[in-house]
Chain A
Amino acid sequence: MSFERTQEKLKILADAAKYDVSCSSSGSKRNNTNKGLGDATGMGICHSYTEDGRCVSLLKVLLTNHCIFDCAYCVTRKSNDVKRAAFKVQEVVDLTINFYRRNYIEGLFLSSGIFKSPDYTMERLVAVAKKLRQEENFNGYIHLKSIPGASDELMREAGLYADRLSVNIEIPTEAGLKKLAPDKKREDFIKPMVKVKNEIIQYKAEKKIIKSTPKFAPAGQSTQMIIGASGENDFQIMQTSNHFYNNYNLKRVYYSGYVPISYDNRLPQIGSAVPMLRENRLYQTDWLMRFYGFDVSEILNEQHQNLDLDVDPKLSWALRNLHEFPVDVNTADQRMLARIPGLGMKSVYKIINARRFRKLNWEHLKKIGVALNRAQYFMVCDSNQFEKRDLSAEKIKGLILQNSTSKYQKILSNQLSLFG
């Protein structure tokens, strides 16, 4: 491979791919059984972090940034005046293998602009994955983007070589999509998603009967939504997210604060802030749904359509539901413990383990690592010192905010002043 040309292409095609936030490389089960290169079992590793603090675990590039479509929110859109480039299949293979051998990455995340047609593009993505698996004996992680509108056969083949497949819905509502990406239709995203979901189900069924069924996308599928490009509220976003989790067995939904890249007047203008705090609150809500036993409607509903920016969604829920508190940490079940603000799942498990030996008091809880400055208003333990004043939600919130510094404090005060 010619070094200078590859270097040039890599610059262009990595730059174009970086707005896709998904970088997870976990959850696969590809063992290194053939004495080949790499394995992708269990947790993925972040080999480095970008200067904005995001995990770098995969070589994330576009195969090409030529595109026949013109989605307003995308740097690769047809009408945008940028340098274009396209990798050869072998170039991507060589880069992946050589980066992997040096322990730079966990694998490849390959996406692409749509050149010629969806199938033509998907075919090339599949060719890269196939070469890596069959010629290079590569067992590392491969994430392929499903190209909206690609055929079922290609999606099936993609799933045989890839660990994860994803289609980005990008815009949370159909109306928003129509406005910003007139070439695209919801069905085109849904179709490959349904295909992959069905194949995974079929794989699991066949796996029970025949042991050697080839693996199909063992790390499942994921999608991404852009936040703050098309005016949706948090309630709409999380409803869409919930819908996709439930109906397409998605492993992850990613939320990506829109980074302004164009002067198109349908979009926030260049220079406006990336809604990072809002993105963070949406992730927190996502976690509450997936790991803390919350139903999305408890957090967001008709009455409460946007997440608070100044406090996290769990605290916000607790403040609206003070009648559920205080919780006695020595007797409460796991579900209720998980709902105490300031208690993460790890602390919950530690409490459940430690209380087998003795009743826990504040000292014990502090040692275990519970963030008492929040939790103290919502729990009682083996001590007669607890919050006895009957505080209002406003008052508690005030006390907590007074004693905490958020890493988003600066952003917060900036973003709040927008409304103030």
Chain B
Amino acid sequence: MQAKNLIYDGTFDGFLSAVFYVFEHKLKTVTIQNEFTVQHRLFLENETIHTDELKANRVWKGIKSRLSSNGSYQLYYAFLSEDSGVEDLLLEYIQYVFSQRKKVDKDYTHPSILKIAQIAKSVGREKHRMEAFVRFRLTKDAIYFASIEPDFNVLPLIEKHFKRRYADQKWVIYDIKRGYGLFYDLNKVELINMDFPENFNFTKTDNAFFAEQEFEFQKLWQDYFKSTNIESRKNMKLHIRHVPKRYWKYLSEKQPN
């Protein structure tokens, strides 16, 4: 049989459509790749997968019926990691799940299950970090704006949390790395792309864009943060483990005054 390289559009539905294709054609030697990161492989024939919501839903339903709810979360979380090669790992996981009669997603002694659980855990950790580290700044047009640059694609995972919590204010959380964001308009959350002015600096609070009181509250927060520290207990190593340096640039309390 022909060995294939399936290329999908980067969406979760696209990935599931590729999985459908694998099962439909009973492919044995196969890799799945995102169209943005495709690497051509020798001896593999490329096949472009058309994203089909119906097929995707069928696969997802099937997977969910064979996994605990935690297991299907893990699968989705791991997908959002965008790790290179994660699609193949997920495929291996899904094939193993379907090959067994029992629910096996808690069988951590199987390599693909353990690996997926570990990746999902890192993604989960970053989801929580983002829920903690998003810092809104009030803009001149009364929108609370936050920019983030997460390692993984966690925006889909944090939407619910912020919608529930900030139900009475307009807000935007923008993933600069991936070039899209969430916008809540007091009713619903939408995915948006934004064009930023040339001179827009994401880490700076520029008074051309941000409300006047924004500066005061940032200052008060920075002061507050400073005064919570107990000098005689200082432990920077522990501090950095909790708040890794790569997140500092968007934390108001970490800005130089």
Contact = CB atoms under 8 A, between A and B. Distances in A.
A53 B225 CA distance: 12
Interface in A2-49: 3, 6-7, 10-11, 14-15, 18-19, 32, 35-39, 45-49
Given A37-B166, A51-B235, A59 B109 contact: no
Given A259-B233, A364-B109, A48 B251 contact: yes
A239 interface: no
A101 B166 contact: yes
Interface in A112-163: 137
Contact of B220 (A18, A95, A350): A95
B252 A104 contact: yes
A245 interface: no
A83 to B, nearest CB: 13
A60 B225 CA distance: 10
Question: In the complex, which range does the number of interface residues on chain A fall in?
Answer: 35 or more
Given A59-B224, A102-B135, 13 more contacts: A14-B223, A18-B229, A35-B168, A37-B167, A38-B165, A45-B128, A48-B133, A51-B234, A98-B217, A99-B220, A101-B136, A259-B230, A357-B104
Contacts, number: 144
Contacts of A353: 106-108
Contact of A49 (B108, B219, B223, B242): B242
A67 interface: no
A46 B102 CA distance: 39
A375 interface: no
Given A39-B165, A101-B166, A52 B109 contact: no
Interface string B106-150: 111100001000000000000010011111111000001010000
B108 A368 contact: yes
9 contacts: A14-B223, A48-B132, A49-B238, A49-B243, A51-B229, A52-B233, A102-B217, A137-B168, A350-B106
A-B CB proximity, top 10 nearest? A53-B238, A52-B233, A49-B242, A353-B106, A14-B227, A102-B136, A15-B227, A53-B235, A51-B229, A357-B107
B144 A102 contact: yes
A357 B156 CA distance: 34
B24 interface: no
A367 B238 contact: no
Contact of A10 (B138, B224, B236): B224
Contacts of B106: 350, 353-354, 356
Contacts of B243: 48-49
Contacts of A104: 135, 221, 252-253
A409 interface: no
A52 B217 CA distance: 23
A274 B165 contact: no
Given A3-B216, A46-B242, A357-B109, A52 B166 contact: no
B164 A259 contact: no
A36 to B, nearest CB: 6
Interface string A363-384: 0100110000000000000000
Contacts of A15: 227
A413 to B, nearest CB: 16
A289 interface: no
B235 to A, nearest CB: 5
A50 interface: yes
Given A37-B167, A102-B136, A357-B107, A18 B238 contact: no
Question: In the complex, which range does the number of interface residues on chain B fall in?
Answer: 35 or more
B232 A274 contact: yes
A367 B228 contact: no
B132 A276 contact: no
A60 B227 CA distance: 11
A14 B135 contact: no
B210 to A, nearest CB: 12
B169 interface: yes
Contact of B167 (A7, A32, A98): A32
Nearest to B218: A102
A367 B233 contact: no
Most chain A beta-carbon contacts within 10 A, residue among B108, B216, B219, B238: B108
A56 interface: yes
A137 B169 CA distance: 13
A264 to B, nearest CB: 17
A45 B229 contact: no
Interface in B146-162: 146
Contact of A53 (B108, B144, B242): B242
B233 to A, nearest CB: 4
A388 interface: no
A103 interface: yes
B239 interface: yes
Contacts of B102: 357
Contacts of B167: 32, 35-37
Most chain B beta-carbon contacts within 10 A, residue among A59, A102, A368: A102
B125 to A, nearest CB: 13
Contacts of A101: 136, 138, 144, 166, 169
Most chain B beta-carbon contacts within 10 A, residue among A10, A35, A53: A53
A358 B109 contact: yes
A367 B168 contact: no
Nearest to A12: B227
Given A7-B220, A14-B227, A102-B144, A45 B131 contact: yes
Given A39-B165, A354-B106, A52 B229 contact: yes
Contact of A52 (B104, B108, B164, B234): B234
Contact of B238 (A19, A52, A59, A350): A52
Contacts of B133: 47-48
A350 B219 CA distance: 46
Contacts of B165: 32, 38-39
